[in-house]
Amino acid sequence: MKKNRKNLALLLLAASLLAGCAGQSNSQSSQSSQAKSEKKAESKASSKSAAKSAASSAVSSSAVSSTKSSSSQASSKSAASSSQRADVNRMGTLTSQLRVKLPGMLLPAADGLGQGSSNLNIRYTSSSSQNVVYYSVGNSPLALNDSRIASEKPYAVLTENKNVADASSLINYQEPKTGLPAVKIAGNVTGTEEGAAGSTYLQFNQGQWSFVVRASNVQGQKPLPTAQKLLALYQQYGLPDTAAKSSVQVDVGESLGSLNTVITWAKGSSVYQLKAHSMETAFKMLKSLK
C-alpha cells in the first residue's frame, strides 16, 4: 500500500513537471510570435517612411525643375520683348525726327521688316517740290541722315511730289482692259493678260486702284502667283485713301535693293510713291502711314 502511494506521488510530480515545461514553451512561442509581428510592423512603417521620403524628394525636384523652366521661359520672353521694344523705339525715334524735318509729309510708323529692325537707318533729301526718304538696313544703327547711309542699298524709298497740277501724269493708272484673255485671280476677281516686248502683263482693278504685274518671258516667269499674292495683301492691309485713281505696279521677283513694287497715289495736292523690295514690306509700311 505504501508502495502504491509512493508511485502515485511520483506520477503526480512528473505530471506537474511536464505541465510546467509545456506552459513555458507556449509562453516562449507566444513571445516569439509577438516579436515577429513587431518586426513586421516596424518593417512596414520603415517602408512607408522611405516611400514618403522618396515621393517628397521627387515632388521637390519637380518643383525646382518647374521653377527653373518657368524662370528660363520668362527670361526668354523678357529678352524677346525687350528686343521688339528696341526695334519699335528705333523706328519711332527716327520717324519723330523726320516729322520735324519734313512737316506735313505722310510717314509710316512701321518699318515693314521681318528682321534687321535694330540696324534700321534712314536718310532723306528735301526741296521745295519734293521730299524723298530712304530706308535701309546697315551693319550698325546710325544717326538720321548720317553720310554713311548713302552707301547702303535702300529696301524702301518714299517720295512726296508737292503741289502737283496733274496727278495722273505721275500715277500711271491703267483702265480695265477689254478684248484680252481673261484670267481668274481669286474668288470673283478676274484680270486680263497680254504680252509685249518679252514680258507678260497681268492686270486687275479694284475700286480706284489698278494693279499690274509684269513677268519676264526670257526668265520663264509667270505673273499669276504674284498677282494672287498681291490681291491677298491688298485684301489684308488695304491701301491709302486716294484723291485720284491710283496704281500698283509689280515686277515678278524680290531681292534686296530691287524696289520691284511701286505704289503711287494722290493725297491733297501731293502725289506719293512708295518703292519697296517686297510687296509685303510695302503694304505693311502703308498700313501704318500717318
For the stretch 224-265, pLDDT in tens is 999 999 999 999 999 999 989 999 999 999 887 899 999 999
Residue 144: closest CA among 97, 184, 108, 103: 97
Which of 10-19, 130-139, 196-205, 268-277 is predicted with the least confidence, judged by mean pLDDT? 10-19
**pLDDT top residue among 208 and 14:** 208
pLDDT at 13 over 70: no
pLDDT at 285 over 50: yes
What's residue 257's pLDDT? 83
Q: Average pLDDT for residues 153-174, to the nearest whole number?
A: 96
CA angle 107, 109, 111 (to 5 degrees): 100
Q: Average pLDDT for residues 54-69, to the nearest whole number?
A: 42
What is the Cα–Cα distance from 47 to 230, expressed in whole angstroms? 71
What's residue 59's pLDDT? 35
**pLDDT top residue among 87 and 181:** 181
pLDDT at 14 over 90: no
- Is residue 202 within 8 A of residue 186, CB to CB? The reply is no
pLDDT at 165 over 80: yes
Confidence of residue 88 (pLDDT cuts 50, 70, 90): low
Site of grid cell 529692325: 117
**pLDDT top residue among 83 and 173:** 173
High-pLDDT (> 90) share of the chain, %: 66
Supply the mean pLDDT for the chain.
Answer: 80
- Is residue 154 within 8 A of residue 135, CB to CB? The reply is yes
Q: Average pLDDT for residues 36-55, to the nearest whole number?
A: 43
Which of 7-21, 89-103, 276-290 is predicted with the least confidence, judged by mean pLDDT? 7-21
